[in-house]
């Protein structure tokens, strides 16, 4: 169980942007001019092996990168058309997961992004995943 206090570390809940499927409320903070997205995990996010389910991590990463795509597209509607996920380490219930993403390329109709998923404990931060994908930008006709 993590003792990391994300609220005390400057994270704020995005209550109007809940994750799908009842996964919870994402959190955000701006650090060094870059937005970071986070989510506290619980036992309800675990699979039968007792670690956070990969689908939870993928939904969280998709949600967080979508915020970045939306900003890169000047807040035009976007949708994920490809998401690649690489799992590097297990996440234990109670750990706080964080997404650090960046836009790697932007065209009129597409946004390309990549990111790292980290797990935060009281005294450590470790890489647990890598993601990249493409978002389609919808323009009014």
The 10s digit of each residue's pLDDT in 111-120 is: 999 999 999 9
How much is the pLDDT for 96?
97
End-to-end CA separation in angstroms for the chain: 50
3-state secondary structure of 31: strand
Question: Is 93 a member of any domain?
Answer: yes
122 pLDDT exceeds 80? no
Q: Does residue 88 lie within any of the structural domains?
A: yes
pLDDT given at position 1? 54
**CATH number of residue 22's parent domain:** 3.10.129.10
pLDDT per residue as tens digits for the range 44-68: 999 999 999 999 999 999 999 999 9
Range of the domain at 36: 12-137
Beta-bridge partner residues of 86: 130
Of all residues in the chain, the percent with pLDDT exceeding 90 is 79
Collapse the DSSP code of 57 into the 3-class scheme (helix H, G, I; strand E, B; otherwise coil) and give the result.
helix
In a domain, 6, yes or no: no
Query: Is 1 contained in some domain?
Result: no
Q: Count how many domains the chain has.
A: 1
Confidence of residue 141 (pLDDT cuts 50, 70, 90): confident
What is the model's pTM? 0.91
Rounded to whole angstroms, how far apart are CA atoms 47 and 45?
Answer: 7
Residue 3 lies in a domain: no
What are the pLDDT digits (tens) for 23-49? 999 999 998 888 899 999 999 999 999
């Amino acid at each position: 169980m993590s003792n990391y206090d994300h609220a005390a570390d400057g994270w704020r809940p995005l209550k109007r942007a809940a994750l799908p499927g009842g996964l919870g409320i994402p959190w955000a903070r701006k650090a060094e001019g870059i937005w970071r997205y986070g989510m506290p995990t619980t036992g309800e996010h675990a699979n039968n092996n007792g670690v956070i389910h990969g689908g939870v991590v993928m939904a969280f990463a998709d949600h967080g990168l979508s915020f970045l795509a939306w900003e890169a597209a000047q807040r035009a509607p976007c949708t994920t058309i490809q998401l690649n996920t690489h799992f590097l380490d297990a996440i234990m219930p109670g750990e706080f997961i964080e997404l650090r993403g960046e836009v790697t390329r932007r065209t009129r109709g597409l946004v390309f992004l990549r990111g790292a998923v980290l797990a935060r404990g009281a005294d450590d931060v470790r890489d647990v995943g890598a993601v990249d994908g493409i978002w389609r930008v919808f323009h009014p006709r």
